Structure 1
Amino acid sequence: MAFTRWLSDGLRLCSETRRGLQIVTGPDSRITVPLRLVLTSPNSHWVVRADGGYYDGLSGVPLVWDGAAFVTDPQARTYAPAYTTPPSEPIGAQLTVTFRVRYTSDTAIGAATEDICTALTGGPPGGWGTAEPATDVWRRERLSELFWSRGAEATWLTIVGTGATPAVGTMLVSKTGDAVEEAVTIVVGYADPRDVPAAALPGLLGGIAAGRHLISLFAQLGNGRADLTTVPRWLGPPAPIGMAVGGMVSEVPGIPAQQIGDARSPAVWYVLGDGRQQEGWQRYEQLTRHLQGGF
């Protein structure tokens, strides 16, 4: 199931009435990356109907109908059995890169997204849209035209890659003072987890900081289908690879770091793990505490 125009309209209505978006499917359904990201918002659920009951397809938590919406079953003490049943299809790996970057020139909207997509997949995004499928041909000037035609209101978009490796993502473009901010999530799929370029990420992603204001970037790896759809099954937890922070950031004891970017726009890449070891989350918590403390 994709985040179609019909669901986009439904999400807008839910937002206006302060409700979450909830969709109901069977246990054999799959959803796309944009729809999965939308369904992580408060009160939203991927409601999966199985074994005479319901559960959240992203968390496995049993759900019940309270007369107005699906909510967590207060009597549940474990995950839904269908959620913990291993999938029968082959599972690969999904690399997720989330970043925020700020521009002082509105003509640069989409530049960082284009750079990262090219670095990770071998080609720039091929299409974009306000829903799925992303039918508009990727042209950065069109992104700026759409954003300003809406009075610089926050604009949410889907993007799709065209490189040798499949990639799908979302963009949120918004006005911040005199600058434009771009918040992006890109997910790249691999049939063979050994093909994920975890060790090469600092070099591949370092270019995003050069000549622009990188706020933050986070990369993590998880099990998932190479076609980037999500199944309502437990596939194991993701694990962090690294995090980049813009500006002159200090060293953090026990966390390897290297400079990326350039002299005009310095940034630091912190190595958190290889995307397989859960210990990386401990380093992530240590790093975020350090950054929030103002070092």
Structure 2
Amino acid sequence: MTDVTKTFTLRRRTRGRLRRERTTLDAVDGVSFTVPRGEFLGYLGPNGAGKSTTIKMLTGILTPTSGRVRVAGLDPSRSRTALARRIGVVFGQRTTLWWDLPLKDSLTLVRRLYRVEETAYRARLAELTALLELEPFLATPVRQLSLGQRMRGDLAAALLHGPELLVLDEPTIGLDVVSKATVRGFLARLNAERGTTILLTTHDLGDIERLCRRVLIIDHGRTAFDGDLAALRRTAGADRQLVVELAAPGPPVELDGVPVTDVEGPRQTLRLPDGANAASVVAALAARYEIRDIALRETGIEEIIARLYRGDR
């Protein structure tokens, strides 16, 4: 994707006028990025940032106003049928399965849509059934499946034809802890063992921390960050804190270059400077003070991304 824009024309009726006023909205404004084969990319942004518009251009649903989009070497808007055979798409709030059919029958129809050869279909279905634990509900109508079961069924449907790219939009939304763990474990294995390229959009930042090596953040239609999680922490000014519980209450501990930010009885919080070795700081504290307990805390990914949205550095 190179210097891509997508502009929508909006018509609004103004008070006291018969004609509607026409305005334009730049949903995506000059976004460029490349996803190498085999990468697991987290694509983030607040509501209205342009994530869904980007996904729709990548899958051929929308045509960019300007710029160049290529997926698997194809122009998505001009080669939708050819592209559909090379990618899989899962939207967490919509299903591609047939509501009144048993899950297995839905998957059989998907196989026919993609014209997957019978032997390949049986092998993939058996593998996906084992990895996603589908066996107990293959005969259950889709409308009777739990949200977690349906999501696993949608993942199987998206992968039956062996796509090289998997696009996921909120795949764990509404899932319980066990179902999330199952889906996350499957996606991690799919990427690591099969080399499937995965593009993930989500508001569940636990997905990002556990799955993605690279994060791309879009805000107001423009790229706000592109890099790994360590670089994101540095960009947003994330800090590390050392929480120390002393044997007894006392004045703030004194250690060169390590300020105390909070004292509450015997518990004191120290801010570690950038590049500081936590083990060395702990050793220096233990040599001078009697310590009962100690914990290292890092700024959570939610706070880091919130800072980036606010423009904090």
Same fold (TM over 0.5): no
Q: TM-score, normalised by structure 2?
A: 0.25
Whichever structure has more strand as a proportion of its residues is 1
TM-score, normalised via structure 1 length: 0.26
Higher helix fraction: Structure 1 or Structure 2?
2
